[in-house]
Every structure is written in structure tokens, then in C-alpha cells.
Structure 1
Amino acid sequence: MSTPSPRGEPPLRTVALPFVFVLFIVACARDAEGPARPVVVIEQGEARASVTVELATTPQQRAQGLMFRRALGENDGMLFIFPAESRGGFWMRNTYIPLDIAYIGADLTIVDIRRGTPLDETILTPSTPYRYVLEVNAGWFEANGLGVGARVILPEDLPGGS
């Protein structure tokens, strides 16, 4: 039990305890955020923009994508990484957010961009094979002055798709 000092002030540990508790909560909250998310940069002419991405590298992650989400940050997205060039399309089943779907070739150039309408099951197939797909909010590419032919810069330490 703590007793006040002879001058009537609370003991130091009584004053410090709430401060230590707040530091503990902040540290736990940081750990709950998980690891830092990668940033993808897209350039075309004078235009340059970046997107903070979640990664979809496994078949299960790629199948789930952004399904069931109700919101996506203004400069957030999902980067799908495939183990080899692909030709299949994407659809918007169970996806509530209107999306721009950018198909990116193995040479890191955007080969096609398709607009995904929420809950539409139309398969959006690109015109050429791709190795990566970047999903962002609908209109993001246009708002940033980017389009087909833009160059994509990926972080060096990205995992390969499985």
C-alpha cells in the first residue's frame, strides 16, 4: 500500500502507473496493426502516384481479394501476385467497392485497366497476359493522370506468388 509523502504528495509510483499503462496500450496497438504494408509506385510521363497495398500471393488470398469490404482508403489497394503470367479475368462477386483493376505485365507495365462494378459477375479479362493485378478505388488512375502503358515500381522484397 502506498502512503503519501510527509508533504501530502502521492508517491511517485502512483503518479507514474497511469503513464506506464498508457505506454503499454500504445505499444499493443502498434503490434496489432501488423507489419508495414508495401507501397507500389506508378509513373507515366510527369504523373507519379503511390498506393499502399495489401498483398494477395496465395490462391486463397487471390480468390478472396477485396470481397465483402465496404470501404478502401483513397490511396490503398490490393496487389495480386501470380507465380507466372496469367490470362484469366477478374469479377466483382461479393465486392461492394467500385474498383479499377489494372493488369500489369511481367515487364511491370500496365497492359490493361478495367472498371469493376460492385456485385457484377461479368468476367473482366485483359487483352494480354499479366503477372500482377492492382485493384484500387474506381477512378484512381484517371484522377492521377495514369493509364495503360504506365510503369509500375514494386518494392524489392515482395514475395512471389504461389
Structure 2
Amino acid sequence: MNIITALIPFCALALAGCGAAEAGKTTEPVKLQQVQACFASGGEGYPVTVEIASDPEERKKGLMGRRDLDENAGMVFEYQEDRPARYGFWMYKTLIPLDIAFLDERGVIVSVRHMLPCTSSRSSDCPIYPAGKPFRNAVEMNAGYFKAHRIDEGDRLIWPSEGTCPP
């Protein structure tokens, strides 16, 4: 048996793990835990519903493939320890423009970035949007959400908010 013949079963098994989305088919979105959260800014509260991406696979997938995001909805990327300032996010296979707020361990926003969809089929062609400051967690919202609500550095995301959001 030559090496090519020996590798065929291995390659077939490896390719079976590829998602249907890679083959041009759609897959059911993974159901993540959703919680009520609240942005606190300038004495105002802005209630939102966020999905929590807390394990590496959930964080890697993020909002890839979504064609829309409800107006007051987003995704929190939860980490167990601080990330360095150079750490960032990308928009590979992400179809909608997003804003991302990087949060410290208390939920205080340390930086905000605007991110555009990457239309390249090669992940290496997609820009990375670094936090610019050390952070613990991050939250992605529709592009323009933070500007429309005057939410910026120093403001805070409270999650889960357990139904309380400052007036």
C-alpha cells in the first residue's frame, strides 16, 4: 500500500469534521445563554439582551454568519483572565458591521472600536482590531449603537443586570 492510499481514509475522516457552512449550506445557529444587561452612561441606563460566548469555540464563532442582530442585542465575549492590549478581534465571515467595547474586570469600557465585515475568503486578509488597552471581556453591538447612545470609555456594562437598569 502506498502512502497516498494509506492517507485517503485519514483525510476523509478529517474532512467529515468540516461544518456544513463551509460547503455552502446553512447550519442551525448555536444557542448561547442569553442574559439581560445594561449599559450605564451619564446617569442613563440602556437595557440590552446579550448572548454569552464563554468557551473558546463560542468566542471563535462569535457573530459569524449572522445576517442581522436585533437593535438592542449583542454578544459578550467572556474570558477568565485579562487579555493584553495587542489582543484583538476580526470580522472573518462576519456579515454585519459591528462596534466592540473592551471591558475591564468590573465591566468598565476601556476602549471602543468600529469593525467592518471582511469580504475575503481568506482569514489572513482580514484586519485585526486590537483593543489598545488590556481588557477582561468584550461586547459586540450593531455598528453605531454606542455613538447613538453616547456610550464611551468610562461607561459600564452591567451583566447580568437581573432586571435593573438605571433610569
Please indicate, yes or no, whether the TM-score normalized by the shorter chain is above 0.5.
Answer: yes
Deviates more, 1:71-80 or 1:121-130: 121-130
Q: Does 1:133 align with 2:132?
A: no
The CA deviation string for residues 87-133 of structure 1, in whole angstroms up to 9 with x for no partner, is 21000010011000110011221000100101161111112111111
Unmatched runs of 5 consecutive residues or more in structure 1: 1-33, 158-162
In our comparison, the structure showing a higher alpha carbon Rg is: 1
Q: Does 1:149 align with 2:146?
A: no
2:96 aligned residue: 97
Which AA in structure 2 matches 1:107? Answer: R
The CA deviation string for residues 20-71 of structure 1, in whole angstroms up to 9 with x for no partner, is xxxxxxxxxxxxxx79720111112133212101110000000000001111
Report the Cα distance in structure 2 between the residues aligned to 1:46 and 1:156, rounded to whole angstroms.
16
Q: What's the secondary structure of 1:141's corresponding residue?
A: helix
1:84 aligned residue: 81
Which of 1 and 2 has higher RCO (CA within 8 Å, sep 6+)? 2
Which AA in structure 1 matches 2:130? Answer: T
1:37 aligned residue: 34
The 5-angstrom pairing of residues 37-76 of structure 1 reads 37-76=34-73
RMSD (Å), alpha carbons: 1.9
> TM-score when scaled to structure 1?
0.71
Which AA in structure 1 matches 2:66? Answer: R
Which AA in structure 2 matches 1:116? Answer: M
Percent identity among equivalent residues? 38
Report the Cα distance in structure 2 between the residues aligned to 1:57 and 1:135, rounded to whole angstroms.
14
Which aligned segments of 4 or more residues in structure 1 are displaced greater than 4 angstroms?
none
Which AA in structure 1 matches 2:154? Answer: G
Shift of 1:147: 0.8
The 5-angstrom pairing of residues 110-121 of structure 1 reads 110-119=109-118, 121=126
2:127 aligned residue: 122
> TM-score when scaled to structure 2?
0.69
